[in-house]
Amino acid sequence: MTEERVLPRNLEAERAVLGSILAHGETLALVQNDLAPGDFFRRAHGQLYAAMLALDDVGTPIDLVPLRDYLKASGLLEEVGGPAYVVSLMDGMPRGANIAYYAGIVHKHARKRAEVGVFARLLEQAYADDTGPDELLEQATTAVDGLRETHATIGALNPAQQWAALVEETRNAPKTRIYLGIPSLDNLLRGVHPGEVCGIMARPSVGKTLILGHMLRAVAETECGVVVFSLEMPAAQIAMRLARTVYGYTRDELEDKIHGGLSGQRYEEALPRTVLVDAPGLSLAKMETALRNLTPRLLENQPPRVVVIDHLGLIGGDRGLSTYDRVSTQAREIKELAKRHRVAVLLAIQVNRDIGGDGSRELTLGAARDSGVVEEAVDYLVGCRRMDFCSALSREQRVKYENAIFLKVLKNRHGELGRELAVRMDTRTLELREDLDLYAEHTEDVGAITRIRRLNRSP
Q: Please give the average per-residue pLDDT across 292-297, as a whole number.
A: 72
Output the CA–CA distances (angstroms, integers) from residue 68 to 24, 31, 36, 71, 215, in the order listed: 16, 22, 20, 5, 66
The whole-model pTM stands at 0.65
**pLDDT at 459 > cutoff 60:** no
User: What percent of the chain is predicted at pLDDT more than 70?
Assistant: 86
Q: 311 preceded by cis ω (within 30°)?
A: yes
| 340 three-state secondary structure | helix
**pLDDT tens track for 244-270:** 999 999 999 999 999 999 999 999 999
**pLDDT at 134 > cutoff 60:** yes
The pLDDT score that the predictor gives to residue 50 is 93
Output the CA–CA distances (angstroms, integers) from residue 418 to 36, 378, 441, in the order listed: 49, 17, 13
**pLDDT at 302 > cutoff 80:** no
Inter-residue contact 311 to 232 (CB < 8 Å): yes
The pLDDT score that the predictor gives to residue 137 is 72
Distance between CA atoms of residues 42 and 60, nearest Å: 25
The pLDDT score that the predictor gives to residue 275 is 92
Domains along the sequence of the chain with CATH? 1-151 (1.10.860.10), 176-456 (3.40.50.300)
Distance between CA atoms of residues 235 and 274, nearest Å: 12
Average predicted confidence (pLDDT) for the chain: 84
Angle at 329 between CA 328 and CA 332, to 5 degrees: 90
Residues 6+ apart with CB under 8 A from 257: 247, 249
81 pLDDT band, cuts 50/70/90, is: very high
The pLDDT score that the predictor gives to residue 93 is 67
The pLDDT score that the predictor gives to residue 433 is 92
The pLDDT score that the predictor gives to residue 112 is 87
**pLDDT tens track for 415-457:** 788 778 999 999 999 999 998 888 656 554 444 445 545 545 5
Q: How far is CA 76 from the centre of its chain?
A: 45
